Structure formats: structure tokens, C-alpha cells
Amino acid sequence: MRTTIALLLAGLIAVCGGTASRAADAAKLALVIGNAKYPDNEFVLNDAANDAQALADELKRDGFVVDRQTSLTGDAMRQALDRFYARIERGAVALIFFDGFGIQSNRQTYLLPVDAQIWAEPDVSRDGFSLDTILAEMNTRGAAIKIALIDASRRNPFERRFRRYSAGLAPAIAPSNSLVLYSTALGAVAATGKTDRSLFVAELLREMRAPNLSAEQALTNTKNGVVAATNREQVPWLSSSLTTEFSFAGLVARPPDNTPADPASTKPAPQQPVCEVPQAEPTPSADDLARDPVIADLSRKIAANANDAISRYKRGQVYAIKRAHALAMQDFDVVIRRDPRDAQALNNRCWTRAATGDLQGALADCNLALQLDPGLNDAFDSRGLVNLKLGRTAEAIKDYTDAIQRNPRSSSSLFGRGVATRKSGGDGASDIALAKSMDPNIAKEFAGYGVTECVP
């Protein structure tokens, strides 16, 4: 309680009396991280490295002392944060930019180093760095203004190991006088592609360079620009408790122009959607799988100990995620032979069988998994897919609804229920739209299972 009161008083002192000049004259510090090379990911996030460089250059022009880092391991990321905290003086402007993979757990957002080893929920807090904790530490060290710019709402390879959905990021619990901007809405993910630049950062840089524009307005304009450019498919999340005047580019003698109009309001009305069948991702080659570092590491552990069921189960998950279904089946078969009551392994085999068309075998696996663990949410989702492919739309809708009641943010269950509803003669559009807003690649994933939203 004493610490809270002291911090509150410090914040009030920073706000009172000449706030604009105080913010302009205060030390400005930035930690810019672009984590591009995750061994667990299929390709390098070139946009993360390029965007980190571009933002670091802009912040330097704006008078920030910048520490730019790329592809940090957990130890290196901890050291970078410690250096950042140590440089913060009372009254400073402190900014962190992170581009890479993020994940939410227990209603917190965690930023992931490149060597994170995440196979279950507890691993997130062990290997990730809590954004709430980072902001709180910036505040404790005396920063008058705290800014966090987070471009980490990508669908990542870590969540799919223990979740059937991609949860995006959680709201930040930020101290007073803070600005936090995420590249997408809470609980949503942006499409991940092999691009060299991020739309979010391009919009951000343009607004940061505008003179006579407050930092809060710059971030608001960034949000509006992304919304307009993506026809509302990507909606950044902005949280502000800023009370001190601050501008990235500073003020000039000319009075500021009127506040720019919301670009989203002038965007032409979108055309009516056309039902298109997305092309499913191709199955990786044997050489691609052999070069995968996660698979190689798990294979070494299995070769050293043939009874290592945990490594075999994990390898089966990775194979399934990479659409190497035959290899995934082999691993799950071994795990289940050793423990026929392993509900999670049965669910994973059900999902894999459903993807390959062995629907009766998949149904038996899912039914047994739910018999062993009646609350296993992922098994309802998997059985929904089985029933959908069997043409049993009523049963599919019920399974997906049961899954959604347990997890309303499951893009897989929402999309599946929308398709099942549409195939049964209903609308289903709201479920499908919500699923796509959370995961822009969900239609492509279902196309890989042989399921599309189009109804003849």
C-alpha cells in the first residue's frame, strides 16, 4: 500500500505544473525488440526484424536513446530489460516496442523469447515475459510516461500444442499515465505471412512523424489507419491513461491542423462477400520435416529412450500441426497403446483421423476421450469436426456449442458451428465472421480438413 501511494504521488507531481515542457525535456528511453528467428516457427519473421530497425531509427530522430535488439533468447531478453530499467530516471518517458510472438495466459499477455519451450499452460509464465510486469517495473523505476507498442498478435506454433485455438493477447493492466497499443483486437490474431514490412508499423511510423500531434492522437490515428486499410478485418487495441502532454515528433510554431477525420468513416462500403474456397496449405516434404529443429530434438530423445511417451506425444502434436498426419498417427498410436486411458492423446488422434477422412475411427476416439474426461473441451471441438464431415449437422452444432460454452474464444468451434449451421439451412454468418476476426487463417485451416463455408 505504501508503495502504491508513493507512486501515485510521483505521478501527480509529474502532471502538475508545466506538464508539456516537463515531458518534452525529460529523458526519453526506448527498448526495441524484434524477435524474428524462432526455431519452432516454419519461417523467419522478416517483418519483425525490419520493423524493429525502422522504429528504432524513427525514435532516435525523435530524441530517444534506443536499445535495439533482435531474436533474443530468454536470458538475453531478461538482460535487455534489466538494462532498460536501470536507465530509467524519475520523470522519464519510457517506451517498449516488441515485435514477435506473444501469448496470453491467466488474463495476462506474455512476450516470448526465441528459445521459449512451451508445451503446456504453466510453461507460458516460466518462459514468457509478462507485459503487465514490464509496465509496472517501468512505473516503479520512476517513468512519468509509459508506452508499450506490441505487434505480437500472430498465430504462433506454441499455442497449438496445448490449445485448439489461438487466443491472441489479453488486455494490459497498465499504471496511470500509460499508452498501450496492440496491432490487433484483444483475443484476435493477425494473418502471418512471409512479408518484409508490417502494415501496423507502417501506419505507426507515419503518425509518429506528424508534428503537432499528441502521442495519444498518433496512436489513435494508427488504429484508424489499420482499420481502414484492412476494411475492418484488423482492429488494433488502444488503452490510454495519459494525462501528461507528449508528442513523438514535437511541436512546431504553426498551430496544429484540425484533428484528422477517422479514415474508417471515409472508406468505401465493402462489396458483398463472395464465397471463395481457400487453398489449403501443402503438406511439408520429408526433407522439410527432417530439418525442423523441434522434430529433430524430439526424435533424438525418442531414439535415446523408446519409452519416452511425453516426447512421442509432443512429436505427434507437431506432426499434426504441420499436416504430416500419417506420422502423427504413428506417434499417437504408440502413446495410446501404452496408456489406453490417455484422453488427450485420444482427442489428438480423433482430430488427426478426422483430418485424413477416417471418420468412424475418429468418432470412436472422441467418444472414448469424452467418456474418460467429460469436460475435455478440445474433444467436443474435434467431435464437432467429425460430425460435420459426416453430414450430421445437428450433432456438429451441439458439439461446437458445448465447446463454445466452455471457451467462447475458440475460433475453430465458432467457424465449425457457423459452417454446420449454414449447411443445415441456417445463416451461420455471425459465427463465421467472428471466427475470421479472431483468426484470419481459420478458413484455410478447415479447407485442409476438406471443409469449406460454401454451400451449393
* Residue that has been written with the C-alpha cell 476416439 in this structure: 365
2-266 sits in which CATH class?
alpha beta
* Predicted confidence (pLDDT) at residue 302 exceeds the cutoff of 70: yes
* Residue that has been written with the C-alpha cell 528511453 in this structure: 29
Q: Which residue, 366, 417, 356, 349, is CA-closest to 388?
A: 417
Determine the Cα–Cα distance for residues 380 and 413; give it in Å rounded to an integer: 9
Q: Which of 17-21, 142-146, 220-224, 287-291 has the lowest mean pLDDT?
A: 17-21
Q: Which helix (H) or strand (E) holds 69?
A: strand 65-70
Q: For domain 286-448, give the CATH number.
A: 1.25.40.10
Reported as a pLDDT band with limits 50, 70 and 90, residue 253 is very low
Reported as a pLDDT band with limits 50, 70 and 90, residue 288 is confident
Residues 94-99 have a mean pLDDT of 97
Identify the bridge partners of residue 94 per DSSP, sorted by sequence position. Answer: 29, 146
Determine the Cα–Cα distance for residues 289 and 331; give it in Å rounded to an integer: 15
Q: Which residue, 417, 455, 450, is CA-closest to 433?
A: 417
- Give residue limits of the domains in the chain: 2-266, 286-448
The pLDDT score that the predictor gives to residue 244 is 87
Residues 333-341 have a mean pLDDT of 94
* pLDDT tens string 196-211: 678 899 999 989 988 7
Region of residue 149 (left: phi > 0; alpha: psi -120 to 50; beta: else): beta
The pLDDT score that the predictor gives to residue 271 is 41
Q: Which residue, 389, 437, 435, is CA-closest to 412?
A: 435
Determine the Cα–Cα distance for residues 31 and 34; give it in Å rounded to an integer: 10
Reported as a pLDDT band with limits 50, 70 and 90, residue 162 is low
The pLDDT score that the predictor gives to residue 434 is 81
Q: Which of 75-84, 263-272, 421-430 has the lowest mean pLDDT?
A: 263-272
* Predicted confidence (pLDDT) at residue 36 exceeds the cutoff of 70: yes
**Whole-model pTM?**
0.62
